[in-house]
Chain A
Amino acid sequence: MKHQRIQKHLSAYFDNELTSVLRKKVEDHLRVCQECTEMLEDFKVNRERIAELVHPAPSLKNAVLAKIRETENAPQENFLSTLRRWVFRPITVGATALSTVCLVVALYFFTYTPSPQYDELIDFYFGVHTQEVANNPLKSNVATPLNTPVTDTEDFGEETDTLLDIFFQD
């Protein structure tokens, strides 16, 4: 096994967490590898040093029990106070405002119907007057005016009429 692969097992070897087969391989490698031997030695020294980092813990019992009493004696939150706390959180207020704006914009777009004044304004900009176009068929190919009544009967021309007559007579 190569040096790098053995080195990965060094920590587990140090903690005696390897299988006997792997342990044997690491031990064989340690006999010939100075770098890994030094690393193992450093692991040992550092463990001893860290183990010395023990501080006398302050007595926490009274402080913890006081905190427990404080929380136990605190007035229980009812539904309304919980709701109020949630509603007035900055993120809730922001999200509500944003949703309201989105809703208003969406309603505006989906329910909008152009007013007659708006049609006139559009016609004015395009230079086409609805009435003028309706009265003058020559201008009807310029633009299709808004609010043009749809006619049921359509003129397909004399030739088509003749063909239709022949078809229905047969």
Chain B
Amino acid sequence: MSVTSLSADMETYSEIIQVEEFDSQQERELILRCQERDTAAMGTLVVQYQHWVYNIAFGMLGHHEDAQDAAQDAFLSVWQNIDSFQFRSRFSTWLYRIVRNKCLNVIDQRKRRKTDPMEIDDSQPWVPLDTVTPEQEALRTEQNEILHAALDRLKESYRTILILRELRELSYEEIAEVLNCTLGRVKSRLHEARKALRAELERTDW
């Protein structure tokens, strides 16, 4: 990764974290404009959600380019199906459901191609949220790689629920909506997923 692209990424990141969360009314107006085929409104929605959409996809796929493609496809699907969104659920949960389906498609394609799912692409730098020494950064990167590999060895349903809860911090109700299952199922699956991740990390002397 060159210094130029790293700084470009950092600029993008600072741009993204400066994006203020929309309130529900602003979001509703944007969606309504998208339903009237306003591409500028769609661009704003993309900027608003690209960070989490990309990170959920990366968490599920563990590969930068695949995550980027899945995120782009998800936004394209949103544009193509925005008319079917009737404000019965939160837009974010509807969007994350689309992202999950796109990621499942990529996983299916990988299975058909029989590519190695353990191949983690870490070409993207971790975000240094605070000032760290190079040693600390190296240690963090190594730990993140171990964690990513452990996540990748989990069942897809466990990986997805962990990403949605621990990374995106969705509530149980929102997770149930994204995964289209009951609250009880979310509770039990999340517990099993956490236990499975703990076992995987213990196996690798985390």
| A residues lining the B interface (CB < 8 Å) | 8, 10-12, 15, 17, 39, 42-43, 46-47, 49-61, 63-65, 67-69, 71
Contact = CB atoms under 8 A, between A and B. Distances in A.
B143 A49 contact: yes
Contacts of A11: 187, 190-191, 194
A60 B42 contact: no
Given A56-B16, A60-B72, A46 B126 contact: no
Taking chain B's interface residues, is the majority helix, strand, or loop, or is none over half, making it mixed? Answer: helix
Contacts of A64: 42-43, 46, 72, 75-76, 79
Interface of B: 9-10, 12-13, 15-16, 39, 42-43, 46-47, 50-51, 53-55, 58-59, 64, 68, 71-72, 75-76, 79-80, 124-127, 140, 143-144, 147-148, 151, 162-163, 165-167, 172, 187-188, 190-191, 194-195, 197-198, 201
A100 to B, nearest CB: 30
Contacts of A8: 188, 191
8 contacts: A39-B198, A54-B55, A54-B126, A55-B127, A56-B127, A57-B13, A64-B75, A65-B46
Contact of B198 (A46, A56, A59): A46
B10 A46 contact: no
A145 B183 CA distance: 77
B203 to A, nearest CB: 13
A26 B174 CA distance: 25
B36 to A, nearest CB: 14
A65 B42 contact: yes
B166 A46 contact: yes
A54 B13 CA distance: 10
Given A12-B191, A58-B12, A52 B140 contact: yes
Given A39-B195, A53-B144, A58-B12, 19 more contacts: A11-B187, A12-B187, A12-B190, A17-B172, A17-B187, A53-B55, A53-B59, A53-B167, A54-B167, A55-B55, A56-B10, A57-B54, A58-B54, A58-B68, A60-B68, A61-B50, A65-B46, A67-B72, A71-B76
Contacts of B72: 60, 63-64, 67
B80 to A, nearest CB: 7
A27 B144 CA distance: 32
B197 to A, nearest CB: 6
Contact of A51 (B125, B166, B191): B166
A109 B124 CA distance: 67
